[in-house]
Structure 1
Amino acid sequence: MLTSGGVLVTGQTLIAKYTGAVDAGSTILGDPANGATKAAADIKGPVNILLAGIDPRDTKTAPLSDSIIVAHVPASMDQVYLFSIPRDLYVQIPAFPKTGFNGASRKINSAMSFGSSVGNGKHDVKQGFTLLAKTVSNLTGIKEFDAGAIINFGGFKKIVEAMGGVTMTIDQNVKSEHLQPNGKARPKRPECADNGCDHPYIGPQKTYKKGTYHLKAWEALDYVRQRYGLPNGDYDRQRHQQQFVKAMAKQAMSKDVVTDPKTLLKVLDAAGDSLTFFGEGHSVLDWGLALRGVNTDDMTLIKLPGGALVENGKYLGEQLGPDVDEFFQAVREDRIGPFLLDHPEYVSKNS
């Protein structure tokens, strides 16, 4: 497809340009040996891919993973299961000698922060991702991830813009905490100028009503960021983020993108500003070819049960339900399908 439709460069040149544009993190654990070039044919299921979403920050700001999603592709390599790790999940973050972090029980979204310091007040999100991966591995029992990616939400917006927006089904009425109906930022109350309030914004709010809509990039990203005012808070947001990933994948594979070289090039160009990819020795192209059999309609969204963890009247974060360990075992043993048949409540009703 890349060599047809009037694209005036060879396929090889195009592939080299755009796979090279994606920031390559080499290996998740920073092990040079694992980063050795491997053949695409080596990618076989089942595979587990760790995705972390962050808001754009400079190198002087410790990164926080605002979204953590694990994608499990079974041995058949024809479908994918997505489940989210709550950003406020209270977990044991392991020690990380590179930064002098001795390990502690904290919210999981801070793992990247504890692992990112490189000295002189600077931070490296790739290094922070290593500690996040170790933390999620300890939580789930997944020994190591086969690939991973850090997604910069600010850059990700460019991908949606390049695709001309994204069609999503909004499953509940949501009011934006951050934006006005015209997309501009809501003003802050004067007494909250230094972010000292839980709900610092005032003025009219952008509202997203139930139904299926073709959203602009700013609307889609604003919608999936909302958690305040939702009946289930961050758990509703997790579901919306999974729905967004599914909608993005479906849109990217639509004829409006893959058969339109001009649009495709815009999407690939935007991806270079948005993704840091850890292929564990394989290129982005290798992974794309390995996963070409995945049907976006067969993307199953999973909700993990959980709730607040409170000790001595103090909220520490979130905790997962007691049966989640059984689910994690099903992930490790590539038995998610049979597990979901026995536990249909784990399947998001709004997949």
Structure 2
Amino acid sequence: MLGVGLALALLAGLAVVGLRALTDRYDRAVADEQLLDPSARRERTDPDGPLNYLLVGTDRWQSGSAEDRRSDTILIVHVPSGGREAYLVSVPRDLLVAIPARNGHPGGPDKINAAYEHGGGGIGGTQLLSATLVRLTGIRFDGAALVDFSGFRRVIDLLGGVRMCVDTEVRSIHTDRLFSPGCQQMDGGTALDYVRQRYGLPNGDYDRQVHQQQLLRAMLDRAGQTALVTNPVKLDQLIRAVGSSLTVDTNGVPLEDLLIALRDLPAGALRGVRVPSGPQTIDSVSYVVLNNGGGGLFEAVRGTRMTEWARANPRWINPL
């Protein structure tokens, strides 16, 4: 689950020869960096065990300076053993956490999306964010991806747009576009504008998390419907567009091996998860605070009981 580039191969059902050719192109297009802090990196001891990936999205349209940007989206992608389902755990951007001291930053309590900024953005910001997450949750990661979501506009357009279902009328604070309830086909600019919105929604940032999860599902659905493997020119364009928006950390695992391990994962097997938490004002600052340490969610992600946890906690599962 390192982005749409992986989804294209997963959903196309390619033969091994075609898979190797595709991953070779993908490897040349996508930057591979050390995104994970050493404390947040998991050594793979069981090749058939569950997988945990960190997906960090940034909104470069807000600022040309990496130091001034905060991570707009933080997702923990959990794939239980067998690779037939996946859970998208959205970490609230305003979650109150203890950020470790790094690179001149003294550390201390802050909103979790500030970790990316305090780490200097980019690779350093993702490393500090991963170190903050492992301190909070105890979850160590098998890999990570850093996504420039504004750059994904081109990816969505190359896919022919995505079908999104608007649940609540909302007006964009960025473009003044009015989103009316109902299912509709959206181009890249419209879809990304929609999933950025949180003001004016009944549940604020929690609703935005659901919409971001739904966009990933919609992109995977669309990739599965598009005959990309029969159009090498368009496929190359798409891979280059993904590459310009994506930096990955595969934790030393060859991309081809990762694709094969996840080849049976359909888009319909994605489950959205809301971290058990709620808003709280502390010293006149609005935060999100965990309910009972996360209500057992992080323990389930660390182990092998995520499916059981989801079944026992339906209120925290988002419809996608």
TM-score, normalized by the shorter chain, greater than 0.5: yes
Structure 2 CA distance for partners of 1:218 and 1:104, relative to 1, 3 Å: same
Equivalent in the alignment of 1:91:
97
> Measured at CA, do residues 20 and 42 of structure 1 come closer, stay the same or move farther in structure 2, by a change above 3 Å?
farther
Which deviations, in whole Å up to 9, do the C-alpha atoms of 1:293-331 show, x marking residues without a partner?
A: 11110111112232222235x124211222624111111
Match in the other structure for 2:310: 340
Q: Could you say if the C-alpha distance between residues 261 and 17 of structure 1 is closer, same or farther in structure 2, counting changes exceeding 3 Å?
A: closer
Change (3 A) 1:226 1:273: same
Q: Within 5 Å, which residues of 2 pair with 1:210-229? A: 210-229=181-200
The aligned counterpart of 2:25 is: 17
From 27, 52, 59, give the equivalent of 1:55. 59
Residue 119 of structure 2 aligns to a residue in which SS? helix
Give the direction of change, closer, same or farther, for the CA distance of 1:11–1:342 in structure 2 (3 Å limit): closer
- The correspondence for 2:80, drawn from 74, 80, 98, is 74
Deviation at 1:132, TM superposition (A): 0.3
TM-score of the two chains, using structure 1 as the length reference? 0.79
> Given the alignment, which residue of 186, 202, 205 partners 1:234?
205
CA distance in 2, matches of 1:80, 1:14: 23
CA contact (8 A) 2:54 2:77 kept: yes
- Aligned with residue 274 of structure 1, among 234, 245, 249: 245
Residues 1:322 and 2:292 aligned together = yes
Indicate conservation of the 8 Å contact 1:19/1:283, yes or no. Answer: no
The alpha carbon displacement at 1:264 in A equals: 2.0
Q: Which residue of 1 aligns with 2:137?
A: 140
Equivalent position to 2:36, from 22, 28, 31: 28
1:64 aligned partner: 70
User: Percent identity between the aligned chains?
Assistant: 36
Q: Deviations over 1:143-179 (max 9, x none)?
A: x210110000121111111111111222222211111
* TM-score, normalised via structure 2 length: 0.86
Tell me, what secondary structure is at the counterpart of 2:92? coil
* Equivalent in the alignment of 1:155: 151
Determine if contact 2:35/2:123 at 8 Å carries over to the other structure. no
Q: Residue 116 of structure 2: SS of its match in structure 1?
A: helix
CA contact (8 A) 2:20 2:256 kept: no
Q: In the TM superposition, what is the alpha-carbon distance from 1:61 to its structure 2 partner?
A: 3.4
Query: Cα RMSD between the aligned structures?
Result: 2.6
Shift of 1:287: 2.3
Secondary structure (helix, strand or coil) at the match of 1:281 reads coil
Given that 2:35 and 2:124 are in contact with CA atoms closer than 8 Å, whether structure 1 keeps it comes out as no
8 Å Cα contact 2:23/2:255 also seen in 1: no
- In terms of fraction of residues, the more helix-rich structure is 2
In the alignment, what sits opposite 1:209? 180
Aligned to 2:122: 125
Contact conserved, 1:107 with 1:317, CA < 8 A, in 2?
Answer: yes
- CA shift at 1:272, angstroms? 0.9
Q: Which has the greater radius of gyration? A: 1
The answer to whether structure 1 residue 287 and structure 2 residue 258 are counterparts is yes
Offset of residue 11 of structure 1: 7.5
Instruction: Give yes or no for contact 2:95–2:288 (8 Å, CA) kept in 1.
Output: yes
* 1:93-149 CA-partner distances (Å, limit 9, x unpaired): 1112xx122211011101011112xxxxxxx5112111100111122221x210110
Give 1:54 shift: 0.4
- Read off the aligned partner of 1:52 and give its amino acid letter: V
Could you list the runs of 5+ residues in structure 1 that have no partner in the other structure? Answer: 3-9, 117-123, 180-204
What's the counterpart of residue 192 of structure 1? none
| Structure 2 residue aligned with 1:169 | 165
Show CA shifts across 1:239-278 (max 9, x none): 1111111111221222433443333222111011010001
CA contact 1:277–1:284 (8 Å) conserved in 2: no
